[in-house]
Amino acid sequence: MGEASLIFPAGEYRRRTAALQSEMARHGLDALLLTTPPDVFYVTGFLTRFWESPARPWFIVVPAKGDPVAVIPAIGAELMGRCWIDDIRTWDAPDPHDDGVSLLADTVASITPQRARIGLPMGLETHLRMPVADFARLQARLQPREFADGTAAIHRVREIKSEAEVEKIRAACAIADAAYERVPEFARPGVPLARVFREFQVALLQEGADWVSYVAGGAGPGGYGDVISPADDRPLTPGDILMLDTGAVRDGYFCDFDRNYAIGRAPDDARRAHAALYATTEVALDRLRPGMLACDAHRILTDALRAEGATPGGGRLGHGLGLTLTEWPSFTPKDTTVLREGMVLTLEPGVEIVPGRILVHEENIVLRANGPELLSRRAPSELPEIHE
Amino acid sequence: MGEASLIFPAGEYRRRTAALQSEMARHGLDALLLTTPPDVFYVTGFLTRFWESPARPWFIVVPAKGDPVAVIPAIGAELMGRCWIDDIRTWDAPDPHDDGVSLLADTVASITPQRARIGLPMGLETHLRMPVADFARLQARLQPREFADGTAAIHRVREIKSEAEVEKIRAACAIADAAYERVPEFARPGVPLARVFREFQVALLQEGADWVSYVAGGAGPGGYGDVISPADDRPLTPGDILMLDTGAVRDGYFCDFDRNYAIGRAPDDARRAHAALYATTEVALDRLRPGMLACDAHRILTDALRAEGATPGGGRLGHGLGLTLTEWPSFTPKDTTVLREGMVLTLEPGVEIVPGRILVHEENIVLRANGPELLSRRAPSELPEIHE
C-alpha cells in the first residue's frame, strides 16, 4: 500500500527519505526526530494550517532504514492516513499527564539500538516544537541513547529543491507577480496603508494563493523605516514610496519577494536608489555560481551596491526559500554555507537612502549549474509611479 | 519616555507586567524568559507577521521588578522602538557564531542574582522558540542560575483577558460573523472546495480581518471526515455538509469558530446532529460558571450530547482563545485547570454521525461571574441549506 500521498507522488517522499537516511549515515545518526511544520511536511506531505494551534506536539521519526513513523495527536490521523506513510501512532492530545512522550519514547526505542544517537535539528534557524520539560523526560526515558545535532542532516537535504519543488515555488511566485501587477488598481493616494494590505491579500488569493502567510511592507515620504511592520491607517500620500512584500503559499510552498512603487512622482533619490538596487541584482544574477559561499553572495551584492554609489542597508541580503518564508543560508559576512545547484534563494539588496529611510529590492531564483534562473518576474528597471 | 505603544495604551502592558511579576514572586522566579510570538506580543505589543521567518530567535526578559527588556535581532529595533519598553538590546541575526546567546546571557546576568531561578514556559502547550543547542549554551553561561518552570506564571496571567482584550476578540468574531453570512453567495453546488476556501478568506479580509491565520473545514456527503484538512478541488455536491472554521486576526487577536451548511436539502441525520449540537451548546451556555474545572465543562458537554441521543466525537470539546488560535485549558476529561472569570473560551462539541462522518459546532464566549457571554453571533438553531 502506502502509495496514497498528498501534494507530490509517493516517490518524491521516498527519495527525500533516502536522501535523509544517507545524510544520517554520514553523521552517524540512528534516527532523526522532526517536530516542526516544514520538516514534517517535507517527509510526509502532511499539509495543514492546524499548526496555528500551539496546543499539541507532532513527531516524525526517520529510522536509519525503512519508512518514517508518525507519532501524532489523534486529531491528525485521518489526514496523515492520506499521506504515503503507513506507520501512524496516535494519542489523545493534549494530555496533561503524558502528551505523547511515552508513545514517542517507545517508538524510538523500538527502532533504534540501545546506544543509538538520535538526530535532532538543534542548530541555527531551528527550534524544537515540543515542551522543554517533555524533551527532558524524553531524554531520560531513552537513555542510554543520546540526542545529537541533526541540523546538517536535514539542511543539506532540504536545501536542494527537486524540479517538482522548483515548479511549486515558481507557481507561488507567478501568483505574487500577478498580484503585484494589480497594486496600482488599489494603492492610490488617500488610501490607508491597512486597506492596501487587505486588498493586496485579496489579490493574492484571487490569483491562486491557497493562503497568505506573510504580507509586510511600508510607506513613507521618499522611503520607509523598516520592512517587518504591520500596516497602519495613514493614507498614502504623493511623494511616498510604498513597498509590499509577501510570502504567498500554494501547495505548501512559498514565494518571498517585494515590489516598490512611488505614489505620484518618484523623488530623485528614491529613483536613484531603485536603479542601484536593480543594477546590483543584475550583477548577482550574472555572477552567482554553485560552489560559492553564502558570504561570497553577500560580498558580491555589497560590492555592487558600493560601485553604484549606494549605502548598503543592514541585515542579510538574501536567503533560502521554500517550505518556509525564509530558509538558511543567509547572505551575511559570516555565513559560510556552500551554495549548491538546486538551491532556491532570494536576492535582497537594500540601501539606506538617508538614516531611517530604506529601499529594499527582492527577487527569487533557483541556482543552476550555470548561474541563477529567475522564478519571480524581474522587477521593472525603473521605480514605477502610481498616479491618480 | 516609554509611553509610545502599539495596539493598547502603555498602561495595559504595565498592568500585564505587574501581574506577571506578582505570579513570578509567588513561584519564586527572579526573571521570566519569553520567546514565542504571543508571549512577546502580550508583554510588549510587538505585533508583526515576521515571525513567519524561522531564521531568528527573539527574547523578552521580565525582571522581578521594573520594565521588561527586549533582546532582539536588529531588524526588529525600529518596530520594538514604537512599543512601550525602553530597554532594547539588539544583535545582527542570524549569526552562526553567536545568535544572541551572549547578549541574552549578559542581560539576564545583569538583572538577576547569582542564585536566581529563571522562569521559562516549559509545560503543556508551550515550546521554546530558539535552537536547543543555544539553550544549552545559555544554561551553561548563566550557571549557577537555574531555569525553572514558568508555565503557570504566564498562563495564569494571560488566561484572564482584560476588557480591552475582550473587545478585540469580539471584533475578530464580528468579522467572522459577517463573512459566514456571505458563504451562501459563493458556496454553491459545483464550486470546488478550494475556491470556497479562497472566497471565504477574501470575505474575511473584506469584512476587516488584518490577516487570516487559519481556515480549515471540510465537505462530504452527510458530514465530513476531519476538521484540519486543507481544501481539495472536489466540487460541492447536493447532499454535502460543508463546514468552514476560521481564526481571523484583528489587532493581533483571534476568533475561532466554525459554521455548517447543507448543500441542497439537509439529510435528516445531519439535521438531527446539528440540532443536538445546538442544544448541547445551549446547556453549556446556561451552566458554565467560574470555579468549575475544564474537565467539568467536558462533562457538561458530553452529558448533554448523550441526553440528545448523539455520539460525542473524539478530542477536546473546547479550549482557550485569544492571542493564538487555541490556548489552554482544554475541555478534556483530564484537564483540571480552573475556569475563571474573564477567560475567553470556545465551546466546541462534536458528534459522530456514522464512523468517518462528523459534525462540529463552535462558539466563542467570555466567562463572566454569572456565566458565559457570547462573543460570536449564535449559530442558527437549524442547519442552514444553500440552494441553487
Residue-wise pLDDT for A319-351, tens only, equals 999 999 999 999 999 999 999 999 999 999 999
Query: Which one of B50, B128, B336 has the shortest CB-CB distance to A132?
Result: B128
Whether CATH 3.90.230.10 fits A163-386: yes
Lowest mean pLDDT among A229-238, B178-187, B337-346, B377-386: A229-238
Q: What is the dihedral of CA A268, A274, A275, A280, to 10 degrees?
A: 150
Q: Residue B49: its chain A contacts at CB < 8 A?
A: 213-216, 228, 230
Predicted confidence at residue A1, as pLDDT, reads: 41
Helix/strand/coil for B368: strand
Q: Residue A355: its chain B contacts at CB < 8 A?
A: none
| Alpha-carbon span A81 to A4, nearest angstrom | 8
- Beginning with the edge strand found earlier in the chain, give each strand of the sheet holding A88-91 in spatial order: A88-91, A69-73, A59-63, A31-34, A117-120, A146-149
Does the pLDDT value for residue B1 go beyond 60?
Answer: no
Extract the C-alpha cell encoding B97.
Answer: 557564531
Run of H or E including B24: helix B10-26
- Beginning with the edge strand found earlier in the chain, give each strand of the sheet holding A327-330 in spatial order: A327-330, A318-320, A344-347, A363-368, A371-374
Locus of grid cell 521594573: B66
Instruction: Label residue B357 by pLDDT band (50, 70, 90).
Output: very high
- Indicate yes or no: CB of A334 within 8 angstroms of CB of B99: no
CA-nearest residue of chain B to A36? B54
| Alpha-carbon span B103 to B108, nearest angstrom | 9
Contacts by residues A221-224 (CB-CB < 8 Å, ≥ 24 positions apart): A221/A267, A222/A267, A222/A269, A222/A270, A222/A353, A222/A354, A222/A357, A223/A270, A223/A273, A223/A353, A223/A354, A223/A357, A223/A358, A223/A359, A224/A357, A224/A358, A224/A359
Does the pLDDT value for residue A3 go beyond 80?
Answer: no
Neighbours of A323 (CB within 10 A): 23
Predicted confidence at residue A2, as pLDDT, reads: 44
DSSP B355: T
Predicted confidence at residue A229, as pLDDT, reads: 86
Whether CATH 3.40.350.10 fits B10-158: yes
- Indicate yes or no: CB of A336 within 8 angstroms of CB of B132: no
List, in order, residues 6 or more apart from A357 with CB less than 8 Å away: A220, A222, A223, A224, A225
Q: What is the mean pLDDT of residues B30-44?
A: 98
Predicted confidence at residue B2, as pLDDT, reads: 44
| Alpha-carbon span B341 to B366, nearest angstrom | 8
- Indicate yes or no: CB of B325 within 8 angstroms of CB of A52: yes
> Could you tell me if B290 and B365 are in contact, meaning their C-beta atoms sit under 8 angstroms apart?
no
Does the pLDDT value for residue A276 go beyond 80?
Answer: yes
Q: What is the mean pLDDT of residues A261-277?
A: 96
Residue A140: strand pairing partners: none
Using alpha carbons, list the distances in angstroms from residue A292 to A337, B24, B233, B302: 9, 50, 42, 61
Helix/strand/coil for A151: helix
| Alpha-carbon span A360 to A301, nearest angstrom | 13
Q: Residue B294: its chain A contacts at CB < 8 A?
A: none
Residue-wise pLDDT for B173-226, tens only, equals 999 999 999 999 999 999 999 999 999 999 999 999 999 999 999 999 999 988
Cα A4 to chain centroid distance, Å, stands at: 26
Residue-wise pLDDT for A124-156, tens only, equals 999 999 999 999 999 999 999 999 999 999 999
Does the pLDDT value for residue A364 go beyond 70?
Answer: yes
Using alpha carbons, list the distances in angstroms from residue B192 to A84, A224, A379, B235, B314: 24, 40, 33, 4, 28
Does the pLDDT value for residue B342 go beyond 50?
Answer: yes
- Choose, out of A42, A92, A122, A125, the residue to mutate when testing the contact with B (most B CBs < 10 Å): A125
Does the pLDDT value for residue B388 go beyond 90?
Answer: no
| Alpha-carbon span B305 to A251, nearest angstrom | 37
CA distance A273 to chain B (A): 20
Instruction: Label residue B3 by pLDDT band (50, 70, 90).
Output: low
Q: What is the mean pLDDT of residues A45-53?
A: 97
Q: What is the mean pLDDT of residues A14-22?
A: 98
> Could you tell me if A120 and A39 are in contact, meaning their C-beta atoms sit under 8 angstroms apart?
no
Query: Which one of A75, A202, A319 has the shortest CB-CB distance to B202?
Result: A202
Q: Is A124 on the interface with B (CB under 8 A)?
A: yes
CA-nearest residue of chain A to B123? A131
Does the pLDDT value for residue B356 go beyond 90?
Answer: no
| Alpha-carbon span A150 to A111, nearest angstrom | 17
> Could you tell me if A73 and A90 are in contact, meaning their C-beta atoms sit under 8 angstroms apart?
yes
Domain boundaries, chain A: 10-158, 163-386
Q: What is the mean pLDDT of residues B42-67?
A: 98
- Choose, out of B6, B59, B132, B213, the residue to mutate when testing the contact with A (most A CBs < 10 Å): B132
CA distance B357 to chain A (A): 11
- Residues 59-88 of chain A with CB under 8 A from chain B are 74-76, 78-79
CA-nearest residue of chain A to B90? A315
Q: Residue A328: its chain B contacts at CB < 8 A?
A: 55, 94
Extract the C-alpha cell encoding B95.
Answer: 549569526
Burial of residue A269 (CB within 10 Å: 0-12, 13-18, 19+) is: middle
> Could you tell me if A108 and A142 are in contact, meaning their C-beta atoms sit under 8 angstroms apart?
yes
| Alpha-carbon span B174 to B335, nearest angstrom | 30
List, in order, residues 6 or more apart from A332 with CB less than 8 Å away: A294, A295, A298, A316, A317, B92, B94, B95
Using alpha carbons, list the distances in angstroms from residue B154 to A1, A240, A282, B158, B209: 46, 41, 49, 6, 27
- Indicate yes or no: CB of A330 within 8 angstroms of CB of B206: no
- Indicate yes or no: CB of A49 within 8 angstroms of CB of B214: yes
Predicted confidence at residue B229, as pLDDT, reads: 86
Does the pLDDT value for residue A315 go beyond 90?
Answer: no
Measured N-to-C along each axis, helices B193-206 and A193-206 cross at an angle, to the nearest 10 degrees, of: 170
Give me chain B's average pLDDT, please: 96
| Alpha-carbon span B57 to B128, nearest angstrom | 10
Q: How many residues does chain B have?
A: 388
Neighbours of B292 (CB within 10 A): 16
Predicted confidence at residue A356, as pLDDT, reads: 87
The ipTM estimated for the assembled molecules is 0.97
Residue-wise pLDDT for A86-135, tens only, equals 999 999 999 999 999 999 999 999 999 999 999 999 999 999 999 999 99
CA-nearest residue of chain A to B36? A54
- Indicate yes or no: CB of A216 within 8 angstroms of CB of B130: no
- Residues 249-308 of chain A with CB under 8 A from chain B are none
Where do the H-state alpha helices sit in chain A?
Answer: 10-26, 37-44, 77-80, 101-111, 132-142, 151-158, 163-181, 183-186, 193-206, 268-287, 294-307
Query: Which one of B52, B229, B334 has the shortest CB-CB distance to A97?
Result: B334
Residue A149: strand pairing partners: A120
Does the pLDDT value for residue B259 go beyond 70?
Answer: yes
- Residues 39-58 of chain A with CB under 8 A from chain B are 47-50, 52-55, 57
> Could you tell me if A128 and A4 are in contact, meaning their C-beta atoms sit under 8 angstroms apart?
no
CA angle A381, A382, A385 (to 5 degrees): 140
